[in-house]
Structure 1
Amino acid sequence: MARILIAEDEETLRTLIVRGLSQDGHTVVAAADGAEALDVLVQQQGRFDLLLTDIRMPLMDGIALALAVARDYPDVIILLMTAYADQRERAHGLEALIHDVISKPFTLAELRVAVDEALAAGGKEAASDRP
């Protein structure tokens, strides 16, 4: 199972993601924005397999968070989420640092597939790999 950090400012979506990925057996920690997520990463010394972050958030957005994580914790796989085309464009050019950008809205099944693919690409155990 993977250790996953979620950074999402929308509480309802954050709760749904945490619940869904936890049901898959992952250890999931949630943060309400990028600054809080970065604090968690520092406290946990980067011991996460995957960062799933919204791009558009207050205080520190997902792009700034992804850049900091890629610099300080290069083994953490990064998945971005956004509902905005212009935000997706901001992620263009970060392909070397991030695994993918997930478009909102998405279903829990679509999220699970994206997380499993990211973990598999990063050499981590994905939920679909379990017996």
Structure 2
Amino acid sequence: GTILIVDDEEILRTMMTEILEHAGYSVLSAANGAEALALYREHQQAIDLVITDLLMPVMDGEELIRELKALQPDVKIIIATGSLDLAPAEKFLAMNVKKVITKPFQIPELLTTIRQILSAS
């Protein structure tokens, strides 16, 4: 499967990419929502899951989620955020986000979550 990682912290994108590739996934990454949306449009057929932060420049996670859902209502999304102060997890789960995890998260937890979501499709 192919996973799109969206986070404005380069070190986190790099780390996540290495972990997910090691686990056998193909990975695309973007520094903000606008970049992610362009990548998603280009690789929509290949991308199985999007993991996005909420706080990012240019286009934030919430706007990205709305745009992705407009393109593909069934898109599978995990939010990985350091802060849920902006909006409660319930709000995003109501938008049909599959899971909201808070940073710093445990790698095994992330991989288990990804496997569960991808196997449910």
TM-score normalised over the length of structure 2? 0.90
Across the aligned residues of Structure 1 and Structure 2, the Cα RMSD in angstroms comes to: 1.5
Partner of 1:93: 91
Instruction: Determine if contact 1:80/1:98 at 8 Å carries over to the other structure.
Output: yes
Q: Deviations over 1:55-93 (max 9, x none)?
A: 11111111111111111112320111111131352x533
Equivalent residues in 2 for 1:1-131 (5 A)? 2-89=1-88, 91-95=89-93, 96-121=95-120, 123=121
SS class of match (1:75): coil
Letter of the aligned partner of 2:119 in structure 1? A
SS class of match (2:73): coil
TM-score normalised over the length of structure 1? 0.84
- After TM superposition, give the deviation of residue 110 of structure 1 in Å: 1.8
Q: Deviations over 1:4-39 (max 9, x none)?
A: 101011111111111101111111001111110001
Letter of the aligned partner of 2:8 in structure 1? D
Stretches of structure 2 lacking an aligned partner (at least 5 in a row): none
Stretches of structure 1 lacking an aligned partner (at least 5 in a row): 124-131
Q: Distance in 2 between matches of 1:45 and 1:14?
A: 20
Q: Which moved more, 1:6-15 or 1:73-82?
A: 73-82
Q: Distance in 1 between matches of 2:19 and 2:67?
A: 27
SS class of match (1:13): helix
Q: Percent identity?
A: 38
User: How many residues are aligned here?
Assistant: 120
Letter of the aligned partner of 2:16 in structure 1? I
SS class of match (2:51): strand
- After TM superposition, give the deviation of residue 46 of structure 1 in Å: 4.8
Q: Distance in 1 between matches of 2:44 and 2:117?
A: 21
